[in-house]
Amino acid sequence: MIYLDNAATSWPKPEAVYQAMDNFMRHTGANPGRSAHQLSIEAGRIIYETRESLSMLFGIGDPMRIVFTSNATEALNVVIRGLLHPGDHVITSSMEHNSVMRPLRHMEKLGVEVTVVKCSSEGFLNPHDVEQAVGPHTRLVILNHASNVVGTLLPVAEVGQITRRRGVLLMIDAAQTMGCYPVDVEEMHIDLLAFSGHKGLYGPQGTGGLYIRKGIESSIEPLKYGGTGSRSEHEYQPDFLPDKYESGTPNTVGLAGLGAGVRFVLEQGVNEIQKREQVLTRSIIDGLKAIPGVTIYGDSDPRKRVAVVSFNISGLIPSEVAMQLEEYHQIMCRPGLHCSPIAHKTLGTFPQGTIRLSPGYFTSDDDIEGTLEAVRRIIATKARF
Q: Out of 16, 30, 56, 64, point to the residue binding other proteins (CB under 8 A).
A: 64
Smaller CB separation from ligand PLP, 144 or 228:
144
C-alpha distances in Å from residue 300, one per residue of 102, 127, 137, 290, 375: 30, 21, 38, 13, 18
Pairing of strands 89-93, 113-117: parallel
Residue 251's nearest CA partner among 68, 110, 120, 97 is 68
The interface partner of residue 44, options being other proteins, ligand PLP, none and the CB cut-off 5 to 8 Å by kind, is other proteins
Q: Is 208 in the site for ligand PLP (CB under 6 A)?
A: yes
CB closer to other proteins out of 64 and 316: 64
CB of 342 to ligand PLP, least distance (A): 12
Which of ligand PLP, other proteins, none sits in contact with 208, Cβ below 5 to 8 A by type?
A: ligand PLP
* Residues between 29 and 58 with contacts to other proteins, criterion CB under 8 A: 32-37, 41, 44-45, 47-48, 51-52
Give the shortest CB-170-to-ligand PLP separation in angstroms. Answer: 16
Give, to the nearest 10 degrees, the angle between helix 252-268 and helix 15-23. 150
Q: Indicate the residue among 3 and 68 with the shorter CB distance to other proteins.
A: 68
- Number of residues counted as binding other proteins (CB under 8 A): 27
Of 94, 144, 228, 283, the residue at the interface with ligand PLP (CB under 6 A) is 144
Q: Which amino acid is at 108?
A: E
Q: 144 with 95: CB under 8 angstroms?
A: yes
Q: How many Å apart are CA 322 and CA 165, to the nearest integer?
A: 46
Q: How far is the CB of 64 from other proteins (least distance, A)?
A: 6
Q: How far apart are CA 209 and CA 69, in angstroms?
A: 5
Q: Which is nearer to ligand PLP, 72 or 159 (CB)?
A: 72
Binding to other proteins by CB under 8 A, coded x per residue (else -) over 211-250, reads: -----------------xxxxxxx---x-x-xx-------
Residue with smaller CB distance to ligand PLP, 118 or 377: 118
How many CB atoms within 10 Å of residue 362?
15
β-strands 309-313, 354-357 pairing: antiparallel
Q: CA-to-CA distance for 13 and 6, rounded, in angstroms?
A: 11
With a CB cutoff of 8 Å and minimum separation 6, the contacts of 94 are 116, 117, 118, 119, 342, 343, 345, 346
Q: Which strands, in side-by-side order, build the sheet including 294-296?
A: 294-296, 309-313, 354-357, 334-336
Q: What is the DSSP string of 242-253?
A: TGGG--S---HH
Nearer to ligand PLP, 71 or 283 (CB): 71
Residues 36-95 that bind ligand PLP (CB under 6 A): 71-73
Instruction: Give me the helices (H) in 59-208, please.
Output: 72-83, 98-109, 127-133, 156-166
Q: Which residues pair with 2 in a beta bridge?
A: 331
CB of 214 to other proteins, least distance (A): 11
Binding mask 146-165 for other proteins (x = CB under 8 A): --------------------
Q: How far apart are CA 240 and CA 332, in angstroms?
A: 43
Binds 242: which of other proteins, ligand PLP, none (CB < 5-8 Å by kind): other proteins
Nearer to ligand PLP, 57 or 294 (CB): 57
Could you tell me the smallest distance in angstroms from the CB atom of residue 6 to ligand PLP?
A: 11
Residue closer to other proteins by CB (options 229, 318) is 229
Long-range contacts of 230-235 (CB under 8 A, 24+ apart): 230/33
**DSSP symbols for 249-271:** ---HHHHHHHHHHHHHHHHH-HH
Q: How far is the CB of 47 from other proteins (least distance, A)?
A: 8
Q: Which residues bind other proteins (CB under 8 A)?
A: 32-37, 41, 44-45, 47-48, 51-52, 62-64, 228-234, 238, 240, 242-243
Q: Which residues bind ligand PLP (CB under 6 A)?
A: 71-73, 97, 99, 144, 148, 173, 175-176, 196, 208
